[in-house]
Amino acid sequence: MMLEENAGEKELIESRITIDDYLDVLNRLHIIENQDAYSENYRSPDRIGKSAKRHFTDPSLACASLDLTKDKLVNDLKTFGFMFEALVERDLKIYMDYLDGKLFHFRDNVTGLEVDSILEFNDGEYAAVEIKLGYHQVEEAKKNLINFSNNMVKKAKFMCVIVGYTDIIAKDPETGIYIVPITALKP
């Protein structure tokens, strides 16, 4: 049985308040940051996830707390992928702050469709970005972006897949989606 099934209502409320207090302290200390959910222009607003994604401000904190070495990450590509995504999102947040824009994420609770990052520019335009560690994941990422685009009233200014293991910058001729290596993200 889950803890919540055995706990009384008073204990649940107290534990949730305690968690909220801890999260507030971590946020004020800039240890974690929230990446809000994007919901503009989606055809079915009732389906959209509205919860923020929480990230360490610096993904190296997660690596250090989990004692993740280079060898451990290389041998656990799933965890490496999560750390890579957090690293890219940290960089995108820095760039969007500089451009007076905002960084969001997107999730459709019915279909499970997710887009890692939505970059909203100060003029109201936006871009949709998928983040993948390996180049072999690009086709799946492009499908996600196309599905997302098909459900948007206002289309993205551009769509992009940021990849870890490539050094090629390309534009898919069929979809117009950019494929960009992480090393291309720089001021």
Beta carbons within 10 angstroms of residue 147's beta carbon: 13
Q: What is the dihedral of CA 158, 187, 84, 125, to 10 degrees?
A: -30
- Residue ranges with strand state E in 4-157: 32-35, 53-56, 102-107, 114-120, 126-132
Q: Are residues 18 and 57 in the same domain?
A: no
Tell me what the mean pLDDT of segment 12-36 comes to: 80
Q: Are residues 115 and 142 in the same domain?
A: yes
Q: Are residues 26 and 49 in the same domain?
A: no
Tell me what the mean pLDDT of segment 149-157 comes to: 91
Q: Are residues 112 and 169 in the same domain?
A: yes
Write down the pLDDT at residue 1: 41
Write down the pLDDT at residue 72: 95
pLDDT of residue 11 exceeding 80: no
Task: Give the number of domains in the chain.
Answer: 2
Q: Are residues 108 and 24 in the same domain?
A: no
Q: Are residues 3 and 84 in the same domain?
A: no
Tell me what the mean pLDDT of segment 112-117 comes to: 91
pTM over 0.85: no
List pLDDT tens digits, range 27-85.
888 777 877 788 765 555 555 556 777 778 888 988 999 999 999 999 999 999 999 99
Write out the two tokens for 48: 């959209």
Structural domain containing residue 11: 1-30
Write down the pLDDT at residue 111: 82
From first CA to last CA, the distance across the chain in angstroms is 51
Q: Are residues 79 and 156 in the same domain?
A: yes
Q: Are residues 81 and 173 in the same domain?
A: yes
Write down the pLDDT at residue 5: 56
